[in-house]
């Protein structure tokens, strides 16, 4: 084994939206007791979900699995209007853990829809955030996953056409698709502020810098995490060998043969405890130096819903 040094990406790991979503579940458990029902995994990380299950959170995909009178939390990814309306009609006590940056996209879609806009959404089919955004309106929203998808777009009209995106995409891939959309529909309305969230952008920027300084990049994150997967893909695109692991137990010694420097980062839904476990394992494999990159310090914090704040 030839590992000598580990370079930590800055920033990495939890973002403000994930912090808030997990805190909502934990505060609800403390205030109302178990079980607390959560519609979909609160964030896409197996360690986080398993820890909350042990405390009494029950994760469901179907509202039929939530008993009458229960407390229900919507995941950080957001939900469609249909799910919101059904949950309200069933009389659940509801707390919304949707990331505020996802909510911003929902609000924009609803507002522009009233003004007669159709939408092109850049995102991954089947991802819960995409399902939630598509479900904000009944029709007139077209999902594209790639440059190739743009060619087959046939909106009913092009005078009022707007683009929105999933918040956890690759910044570069999204820019490429958006350029093709603008070429085909020159008057398309772009988001006022880029929909890709600050944390996704910051972590991708850090991986670009990291990848040029190391022989191999390890991304801590679960396979279901879109933003973690994009980090692994980006490191690979930058020319570094790259792997994603859910935990330190998934590290494979053969990955590190002939590699002296290891870059380490974590997706926005991966807790720092998992990063530290990977560092411990890398030290056992020979790493003698662990240092942090210079990087942005994130200090964003989002308020909890009324009813879960300390003063309430």
Q: Which of 45, 51, 41, 12 is nearest to 218 (CA)?
A: 12
Catalytic residue among 129, 131, 145, 233: 129
Q: Which of 161, 164, 129 is nearest to 144 (CA)?
A: 164
Q: How many angstroms separate the CA atoms of 109 and 118, rounded?
A: 9
Reply yes or no on whether 129 is catalytic. Answer: yes
Q: How many angstroms separate the CA atoms of 218 and 255, rounded?
A: 10
Cα angle 106-111-114, degrees, rounded to a multiple of 5: 125
Q: Which residues are catalytic?
A: 129
């Amino acid at each position: 084994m030839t590992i000598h040094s580990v370079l930590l990406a800055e920033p990495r790991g939890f973002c403000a939206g994930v912090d808030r979503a997990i805190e909502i579940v934990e505060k609800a458990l403390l205030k109302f007791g178990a079980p607390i029902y959560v519609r979909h995994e609160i964030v896409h990380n197996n360690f986080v979900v398993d820890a909350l299950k042990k405390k009494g959170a029950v994760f469901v995909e179907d509202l039929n699995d939530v008993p009458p009178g229960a407390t229900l939390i919507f995941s950080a990814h957001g939900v469609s209007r249909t799910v919101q309306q059904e949950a309200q009609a069933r009389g659940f006590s509801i707390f919304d853990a949707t990331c505020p940056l996802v909510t911003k996209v929902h609000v924009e879609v609803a507002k522009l829809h009233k003004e007669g806009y159709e939408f092109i959404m850049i995102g991954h089919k089947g991802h819960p955030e995409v399902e939630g955004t598509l479900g904000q309106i009944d029709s007139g929203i077209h999902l594209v996953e790639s440059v190739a998808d743009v060619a087959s777009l046939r909106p009913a009209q092009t005078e009022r056409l707007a683009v929105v995106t999933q918040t956890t995409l690759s910044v570069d891939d999204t820019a490429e698709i958006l350029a093709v959309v603008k070429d085909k529909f020159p008057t398309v309305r772009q988001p006022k502020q880029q929909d890709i969230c600050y944390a996704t952008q910051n972590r991708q920027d850090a991986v670009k810098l990291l990848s040029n300084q190391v022989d191999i990049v390890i991304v801590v994150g679960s396979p279901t995490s879109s933003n973690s997967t994009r980090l692994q893909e980006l490191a690979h695109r930058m020319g570094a060998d790259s792997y994603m692991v859910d935990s330190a137990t998934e590290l494979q010694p053969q990955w590190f043969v002939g590699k002296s420097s290891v870059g380490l980062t974590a997706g926005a839904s991966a807790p720092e405890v998992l990063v530290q476990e990977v560092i411990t394992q890398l030290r056992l494999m020979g790493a003698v130096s662990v240092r942090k990159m210079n990087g942005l310090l994130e200090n964003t914090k989002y308020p909890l819903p009324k009813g879960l704040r300390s003063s309430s």
